[in-house]
A and B are shown apart, each in its own frame.
Chain A
């Protein structure tokens, strides 16, 4: 599935919920299900500092793709992270770099990306894209070199 298809799938999934609390119930479940990041990566180097909650992110190249694992100390943040990972994990670096992540807004959770929340999520999305840009640039350099 492409990034766009994965986003569409999540939007579909969230259409079932018309109550806020049901939506959050689902996010909390996703948070609980998120495969844990390797303990070795849960360190200062991989930490994305938020004011409210902390996020850890690890990225590893696999061919022209990037694999992501992540974690947070807050379960709702973790649930949202799991959605980000679901969309961007195992996708081509160039696409990660260029994609517009619109699904968060479409499922009504845009507030969690607001700077006033300062939960680490906004910086995490930025960081994932930076990994994408860096990896894509490296691949380009190799292809041309």
Chain B
């Protein structure tokens, strides 16, 4: 088989950067195939966080002293790094949030305040619960109606149905860039163009896109984009919401508190400019610095090379796993990123997952926070192996061997 990226990708050096990949699970060298839930962290990111606390720690935007200035500089430099990571035109459009979930809730709670009875919001059938529930809550408050783009049998969005859902009442479209349960890469450029034709605004959930390759929000043409740092080698509790300046400026604030104000008085308070308007309270400074360091780390490996390497790994895994009798891949879209969801006929995902765990292979089983999608396929859940650029063909071989053994035991 063609094996181009794998030959030049410095996989050994990369693996050495990840302390947790050197450990054992249940007495076997760990094969970590649950990066879609949360990725492992390289030493460089751990060092950046430690170095921040050891040398630069002070509250940002507040002190006149040199240390606070240094912390502020590092914090704002991190914002700039993240803006560049998604090719945002202006770093002031980049808002620190805890993660994707908070990014979506922020938009639903602020931009969503303008929605009224009869307005239509579109999501898809493959959304993570975090891109369903905030919209349901908003619909309850506002009287807006939630519409759902169906998913085809191979795990692609039904774009014909999407076109039919769009109309002059459509005010908002919120769709996942890459499905965490199926791996499908959605045609986000088309999704945005079509929504804009009817005057709707688009949010893209990029949780599973930013860990696997280049994301360019300007090329996508979306209005908002959000993702979580912990899925792309960054620390937990820090993510990004990007939005177009004129939209962010038109939105009311989210949380009230320090940092987000211009002037506070009991007669009336005025708000700070973006991005600070949306960043009430002391921010997660170490998180921001850690995330920027993760972005630097991934960029230094070359995001195109990462994408290429992972694509070859997924193709290899798909080819080997489908040799197992009775194994069926859930999600076979032509465009996929690093997720292999599967079932074996007559076997429960929980049983397979448990037996893989005992063989040192960490996978996720269950509905992957996508219950409507599982219902769509009429299945209780899947076993999901998800890959990152630090996984190898040996990891795949271990997955295949462990699954083969589990299947034999369960037959």
A interface list, Cβ under 8 A from B: 20-21, 24-25, 28, 51-54, 73-77, 119
Residue ID in chain A nearest B358 by CB atoms = A20
Complex: A10 Cα to B366 Cα, angstroms: 30
Does B338 interact with chain A (Cβ within 8 Å)?
no
B203 to chain A, nearest CB (A): 27
Given contacts A20-B26, A20-B358, A76-B354, contact A53 B410 (CB under 8 A): no
**Beta-carbon contacts under 8 Å, B15-35 to A:** 26-27
Task: State A73–B350 Cα separation when bound (angstroms).
Answer: 9
Docked pose: A25 CA to B354 CA in angstroms: 12
Contact assessment for A75 and B26 in the assembled complex, using a CB-CB cutoff below 8 Å: no
Known: A24-B358, A73-B380. A52 touches B409 (CB 8 A): no
Any A CB within 8 A of the CB of B351? yes
B residues with CB within 8 A of A:
26-27, 347-351, 354-355, 358-359, 365-367, 380-381, 405, 409-410
B351 & A74 in contact (Cβ 8 Å cutoff)? yes
> When the two chains form the complex, which single residue of B347, B359, B365, B410 contacts A52, counting CB atoms closer than 8 Å?
B365
User: Which of the residues B349, B380, B405 comes within 8 Å of A21, measured between beta carbons?
Assistant: B405
Asked if residues B366 and A24 are in contact (CB atoms below 8 Å), the reply is no
Residues of B contacting A54 with CB < 8 Å?
A: 380
Q: A24-B409, A74-B348 are in contact. Are A51 and B358 (CB under 8 A)?
A: no
Contact present for A52 and B366 (CB under 8 Å) = yes
| Distance between Cα atoms of A75 and B355 in the complex (Å) | 11
A73 and B381 alpha carbons, distance in the complex (Å): 12
Shortest 10 CB-CB distances between A and B: which pairs? A74-B348, A74-B350, A20-B358, A53-B350, A52-B350, A76-B351, A74-B351, A75-B351, A76-B354, A52-B366
Chain B min CB distance to A12 (Å): 22
- Report if A75-B410 is in contact (Cβ < 8 Å); known contacts: A24-B355, A52-B381: yes
Q: Contacts of A25 on B, CB cut-off 8 Å?
A: 409
**Distance of A119 Cα from B381 Cα, bound (Å):** 13
Query: Do residues B354 and A21 form an inter-chain contact, with CB atoms below 8 A?
Result: no
CB distance from A27 to the nearest CB of B (A): 9
A77 touches B350 (CB 8 A): yes
Alpha-carbon separation in the docked complex, A54 to B351 (Å) = 12
Nearest residue in A to B366 (C-beta to C-beta)?
A52
Q: Which residue from chain B places its CB closest to the CB of A73 in the assembled complex?
A: B348
A75 closest partner in B (C-beta)? B351
| A21:B358 contact, CB within 8 angstroms | yes
* Interchain residue pairs with CB less than 8 A apart (18): A20-B27, A21-B355, A21-B359, A21-B405, A24-B354, A24-B355, A24-B409, A52-B349, A52-B365, A52-B366, A53-B380, A54-B380, A73-B380, A74-B348, A74-B350, A75-B410, A77-B350, A119-B350
